[in-house]
Structure 1
Amino acid sequence: MVGPDRRTSALFQESASSDHERDGRPKSKDGPKNDMWSSMLGGVASGKRLPEKSILVLGGTTDSQKEFLDSLSNDSPTARKTLDRHSGKPPPIANQFALGYTYHDVLDADHEGMNILARLSIYLLTDPMPSFTPLLRPLITPQTLSNMLTVILLDWAHPWSWLRQLRDWIRLLRSLLTSLDDATKEALEEHRVTVRGGGRTGAFDGGGGSGGVTEGEVSIPLGPGEWDEALGIPLCVVCQNADKIQTLEKERAWKEEEFDFVLQFLRTVLLKHGASLVYTTPSVPSQLQTLIHSSLGIQSLLKKQPLKHNVIDRDKVLVPPNWDSWGKIRVLREGFDVEGVNEGWSIDIRSPLPTNPNRPPEPNGMGGSNDSLNSRDGNGALAVFEDTIRDVRSEDILSTGSLLNRQTSQSVEVESFDMQEFLAAQMELLERLGVDDEREQASKDKRRDPQRRSMGYRGEGDGRMRDSGVQIEEGGRVSEHIGPVQFNMGGIQVDADDMLKRLKLDHRRFEKRTDHQNERCLL
């Protein structure tokens, strides 16, 4: 007799054999199917994987960094609607503490569909403190060097602090690059030699820097002062809030000479690093997006947007990378010492990095180092710039304050005293003034007429009378306006003016009598 377990096993074998005979092929498990679909999906994903780019934004405030990101993500309305429909809310921006982060998807221009060209990983840092260097070190690797861009934000609200901010950030970047591992240093040096060796091209195509020279282009060798202090990472300087130029012109009496001097100084300094320069204004279209995309090698599949240099419009300046030269800088205004600024900047950035830089005051988002304004007596370019472009208002405030310690701090600080100490000091001052008054009164009494003392008249009342008479005579004009002065004495209404006249008359009679007696005594 067959047990129930054996009966079930036999039925299972029969159904399996029947299925095998019906399909004509052995039954397989789900494992091979999963492996097939995984390989297919992996292939599609790798084919559509987005290029990874990174931007390191240095300087500015949290608000100015957000304005930069808004200008960078100024896409067309159709592309923005498409992106919002697929991704929902925009990515958050975390830049409140230390090293911030956000990301941005670059959309294809004039494309009605959802076509993302690249994804930007954006790292944000506001303070040039050396303690933040370990946070930046993992971002620079041999794989990310060719797809990285450094952006330094400046603000037209305080242009007199630009060169100091640039110096601090360049020092920080130089110390960061020298602290990398050997493999990254070798990759950095190769990238630096490649970019510098490409030279300048006759026509800038906006294709991400000065790579190799293509057919039909003429390679121009590097001139003096170009790429002398190349960092190895592309650099772009963005001067925000260019609408404040009108405010400087109206309120601080800036002229074309000041604006040209600032532009020439910036161009000379940035030429040593092969950096680009652009002025931006909030809510006004600019070439910032095109400049950033071209520096990272991001090009639209449908529309190519070339960069057009502009050094004429003072609020729309654009200096593309590998375009500027000393000759073009001199053309802007004669008399500018390009060689001196070039040598002085090398001295400034090679100085040791300060250990405790001060944070910039808001809203003058002005970054600065630990050294005070007394550093202007140096031989660098910073001294020349700060002697020419000054913050006149802050200098006036510093000159009028008597309790300011200018040697130890740049900020306006007033020391407050304890209330009891302040009152005690005032009490001593009042007592000293009282002693001085007593001495002055005693000296007046000694200068009185000696004859009156010999006649037994003390003279105190006389002195008072004379003093009061003089005061009333001097105050005669006042009495004309206030009228007669009356007071009650023992129930009798007395006129003060009448009483003074009688006292004066009695005094004159007394003087005459005294003089007559003196004459009789002499006879």
Structure 2
Amino acid sequence: MAATAIDVMSQSNGFQSKKKDLTDNKDNLWSSILAEVQNSGNNKLPSNKNVLVLGDNESGKTTLIAKLQGVEDPKKGSGLEFAYIDVRDDYRDDQTRLSVWVLDGDPGHANLLKYALNAERFPHTLVMLVAAMTTPWAILDQLQSWAALLGDHVDKLSLDNDTRQQCRQLNIKKWQDYTEPGDELDPGSPLRRTSRNLDDEAADSLPLPEGVLTRNLGLDIVVVITKTDYMSMLEKDYDYKDEQFDFMQQWIRRFCLQYGAALFYTSAKEDKNCDLLYKYLTHRIYSLPFRTPALVVEKDAVLIPAGWDNMKKISILYENLQSMKPNDYYRDVIVQPPTNRKCVARENEIQAEEEQAFLAKQQALLLGMKDPTRSPTTRNQASTGPIIQVASPNKKLEPKGSAAVSPGEGVLAHFFNSLLYKKTGSSPGAPGSPGSVGASPVKTDSLSAQDGVDKSAICNDAAAELDRLTRTKKISPPNLNSSSEC
């Protein structure tokens, strides 16, 4: 009986343990399902990532972002522009939007950086420094000035030391963890072919190569040289050779080493490296696969991922530098050519005259103009006063030069005109006083109405003509205070 009781108790305990195991397995199953759901939720593309684009005006920032967006007609704004790029992960069947901030090329708008890059967004921001090949002499200066402006802004952020150091260490780790892409690997596979075959601790302890991350801002940086299609124009118009392009490239690559930046030569016009730049951005921001190796053969389509380059690889370019040295001052070698446009001197501003003064001046000019249709005698008289014509009862006397004026009437016209401008006068009844005459003029062969007639001869003939007219018809002369000096 005792044994039977023990057996029954053991069987009961065994049943309870089996029941407990089933319950534990059921709990573990639910835990595993919840863990899987949680992990899948963590694998979704984050929506808080940002790209900040810095560069001078006319460097192609807006066009580049429009190309990454797939927009044909970019809209250029001012100040601080905002846009977004659609990002899709086909492997995980997920998508999100990447925020893009484009700062105006005027450094005076640097105060707007606080809206795009603050302490909260700092760990989730990638920076693109953009310069254009249309001004190759200014590329290095532009990159250095914008990097310095970015560094000043980062120093002013209210970041705690732990966050700042973590971001810097992450930059170092990304550089050291760079792997050569393997075409034989599945893009979604977590396996990577590393060039070091070292464990993580050993890799972290390795020193950085010479010149790498000497200015570690804690930000992921990509340097983009736009409008590389203009390099053919530099060769044609300014006689640029491969030597100049290699000199420029080695300086830009050395700059990239200092900030731990990647380098892309792009052309939106010819669609060079734009798609690769999009894939690289998604790789650095969302850890999506990027399988394209470094490209340094084509001078207008250079692609150097962060972590690939070093001073030894850059020194290969030195072999092509014959007329210059690698450390020569950039501006001394890549000289800005003189502008072909004519130097237009700024015209002095002309103050408009007061309206009445202008009209008075024009009136004086009109009065002083000489009429070319008048004879020399008439033009001289026009400068002193108006001409008064004396008419006879039968026919009106016309100015000299008219075809209808007879010689006698011409003589009288000259005579009476001369009387009007004499300073001294005679008595009203003196012979030769002006008056109306009724007889027809006498033809005089010795005198004519042409220019150049002697003044004394005109006076004598005029007096004789008046005496003759007086004898023919007595008419009381008008009372005029004028006389003749004849």
Q: TM-score range by the shorter chain?
A: 0.5 to 0.7
Is the counterpart of residue 416 in structure 1 residue 348 in structure 2?
yes
Please report the TM-score for the alignment, with normalisation by the length of structure 1.
Answer: 0.50
CA contact (8 A) 1:56 1:149 kept: yes
CA contact (8 A) 2:119 2:159 kept: no
Partner Cα separation in structure 1 for residue 262 and residue 334 of structure 2: 22
Partner Cα separation in structure 2 for residue 91 and residue 120 of structure 1: 19
Q: How does 1:90-129 map onto structure 2 within 5 Å?
A: 96-109=77-90, 115-129=93-107
* Deviation at residue 417 of structure 1 after TM alignment: 5.7
* Deviation at residue 96 of structure 1 after TM alignment: 1.4
SS in 2 for 1:71: helix
Q: How does 1:3-22 map onto structure 2 within 5 Å?
A: none
CA contact (8 A) 2:59 2:130 kept: no
Judged with a 3 Å threshold, the aligned counterparts in structure 2 of structure 1 residues 285 and 388 are, in CA distance, closer, same or farther, namely closer
Partner Cα separation in structure 1 for residue 105 and residue 196 of structure 2: 45
SS in 2 for 1:123: strand
Paired residues, what number?
298
CA contact (8 A) 2:127 2:221 kept: yes
Judged with a 3 Å threshold, the aligned counterparts in structure 2 of structure 1 residues 92 and 149 are, in CA distance, closer, same or farther, namely farther
* Deviation at residue 165 of structure 1 after TM alignment: 1.1
CA contact (8 A) 1:98 1:132 kept: no
> Partner letter of residue 219 of structure 2?
I
* Deviation at residue 223 of structure 1 after TM alignment: 1.6
Matched with 2:453 is none
Partner Cα separation in structure 2 for residue 274 and residue 418 of structure 1: 57
Matched with 2:271 is 284
What per-residue deviation string (whole Å, max 9, x for no partner) do you get for residues 251-282 of structure 1? 11100111001101100111100011111122
CA contact (8 A) 1:50 1:119 kept: no
Percent identity, please: 24
Matched with 1:494 is none
Matched with 1:51 is 46
Find 2:65's aligned residue among 69, 75, 82.
69
RMSD value, Cα: 3.9
Partner Cα separation in structure 2 for residue 177 and residue 119 of structure 1: 25
SS in 2 for 1:269: helix
Q: How does 1:176-191 map onto structure 2 within 5 Å?
A: 176-183=153-160, 186-191=162-167
Find 1:268's aligned residue among 254, 271, 283.
254
Find 1:168's aligned residue among 141, 145, 157.
145
CA contact (8 A) 1:56 1:151 kept: yes
Q: How does 1:291-330 map onto structure 2 within 5 Å?
A: 291-299=280-288, 304-330=289-315
* Deviation at residue 166 of structure 1 after TM alignment: 1.0
> Partner letter of residue 105 of structure 1?
D
Please report the TM-score for the alignment, with normalisation by the length of structure 2.
Answer: 0.53
> Partner letter of residue 129 of structure 1?
P
Partner Cα separation in structure 2 for residue 157 and residue 73 of structure 1: 23
* Deviation at residue 284 of structure 1 after TM alignment: 2.0
* Deviation at residue 101 of structure 1 after TM alignment: 0.4
Judged with a 3 Å threshold, the aligned counterparts in structure 2 of structure 1 residues 413 and 192 are, in CA distance, closer, same or farther, namely farther
CA contact (8 A) 2:130 2:143 kept: no
Judged with a 3 Å threshold, the aligned counterparts in structure 2 of structure 1 residues 322 and 93 are, in CA distance, closer, same or farther, namely same
Q: Give the structure with the higher percent helix.
A: 1
Partner Cα separation in structure 1 for residue 334 and residue 195 of structure 2: 45
* Deviation at residue 227 of structure 1 after TM alignment: 0.5
* Deviation at residue 98 of structure 1 after TM alignment: 0.9
Judged with a 3 Å threshold, the aligned counterparts in structure 2 of structure 1 residues 91 and 46 are, in CA distance, closer, same or farther, namely farther
Is the counterpart of residue 196 in structure 1 residue 185 in structure 2?
no
* Deviation at residue 214 of structure 1 after TM alignment: 7.4
- 5+ unaligned residues in a row in structure 1: which ranges? 1-42, 75-89, 342-383, 402-411, 421-489, 491-523
> Partner letter of residue 284 of structure 1?
D
Judged with a 3 Å threshold, the aligned counterparts in structure 2 of structure 1 residues 107 and 198 are, in CA distance, closer, same or farther, namely closer
Matched with 2:418 is none
